[in-house]
A = this chain, B = another copy of it.
């Protein structure tokens, strides 16, 4: 019943479904058969026969899941079912040379790769929306807020440019993670393939479109650890933006609004930033799930007793959570309504206090730094207005934006270079 909230990133969620895992395991078995044929271990016709049977619709995911309990992983029953679905002599070559972990680790990489494509698409969508906002509001002044207190003026464009930068960096980090094929046989030596092992491995990786590892990584979990980290970082980058939207949408601030804000059944006036809130809820799953995966890196000997099996669900959940967070944020930003007038009005809430830094600096040459600081503080402390001691142009927020515009331009340029490259 939480589906649409926790799994908004439909493509990412679909990529980690039972069916998707099943197909990914079958893709690994099919690639293995082709690789065996290419290395001359089996006949091409045998490989074709095996590959032809490797279609998820031919298998009962629930039954395989149930049978998995007996052996501790779903590959054992899947191989049995696949062998039964293939005629001899090809049937005898199903799964040849491989161990369960080869198939499952490879499937995990395929699943992750497919989910990642969906996540990257939504991060890109969110990034494009942030870029549009940065461009459109390059010079829209608003209150900069530090520790949730108004501090000095910034522009909404600069804020959006910061979002863009974070999303772009997180995207690049996620895209950079190398997904590699896994094939090592019972304990990483490919012994049952005699001296054809490395050739089979190379052909297997190529058939799958995955990187060929230097050696089997069955108990070297740097790759899963890096994948988990990059997903958590992406969730964190999404959360930063969503958090800002929620705060800007507060009744008392009201500077942005989601176009599809959620209503309330009892309070007709509510306009809840549902997309941003849901993005936050999804992103909050990530650090704990990443910690589970990072904490499971110490695999014992040639196959872990627990740490490996712990990865499957945590990885699926982490891909779903990150994908949903990205999809929610994209929806949030693509429909974000910005109220520049309210931004301007909020700048004036404090009688010029946001310009205190500038006023103090302008008085300093004449009065000395300490006296200038004191004069400003005195006015503000008694609730006064800085117009008492400063000229109106000094108090214009638009005149105290420093490099905001230039920073926006730099961020947009960097974004466009990546887009073009």
Contacts and interface: CB of A to CB of B under 8 A. Distances in A.
A1 to B, nearest CB: 4
A194 to B, nearest CB: 7
Given A237-B220, A251-B149, A284-B310, A162 B188 contact: yes
A165 B298 contact: no
A260 B72 CA distance: 11
Given A186-B144, A229-B233, A277-B72, A191 B401 contact: yes
Contacts of A346: 252
A84 interface: no
Interface in A282-318: 282-292, 294-310, 312-314, 317
Contacts of A14: none
A interface, over-half SS:
helix
Interface stretch (A33-41, A263-271, A333-341): A263-271
Nearest to A163: B220
Given A145-B300, A188-B162, A243-B300, A310 B285 contact: yes
Given A4-B67, A169-B220, A292-B287, A189 B230 contact: no
Interface in A26-53: none
A149 B272 contact: yes
Query: 8 shortest A-B CB distances, which residue pairs?
Result: A236-B297, A144-B187, A280-B306, A229-B229, A191-B402, A146-B303, A281-B309, A4-B69
Given A22-B1, A300-B145, A402-B192, A290 B292 contact: no
A154 B187 contact: yes
Oligomer: number of copies: 4
A215 B161 contact: yes
A158 B215 contact: yes
B146 A71 contact: no
Given A4-B67, A5-B68, A300-B148, A192 B252 contact: no
Interface string A92-135: 10010001110000000000000000000000000000000000
B357 A277 contact: no
Contact of A151 (B62, B187, B286, B356): B187
9 contacts: A80-B265, A147-B303, A159-B301, A222-B237, A233-B294, A240-B298, A240-B299, A251-B350, A266-B360
Nearest to A198: B403
A6 interface: yes
Contact of A240 (B220, B244, B286): B220
A69 B278 contact: yes
Interface residues of A, number: 179
A390 to B, nearest CB: 13
A319 interface: no
A287 B294 contact: yes
B269 A350 contact: yes
A139 interface: no
A197 B410 CA distance: 13
A353 interface: yes
Contacts of A250: 145, 148-149, 250, 252-253
A277 to B, nearest CB: 5
B2 A214 contact: no
Interface in A212-226: 214-217, 219-223, 225-226
Contacts of A62: 3
A69 B331 CA distance: 11
A79 interface: yes
A21 B3 CA distance: 12
A217 B164 CA distance: 11
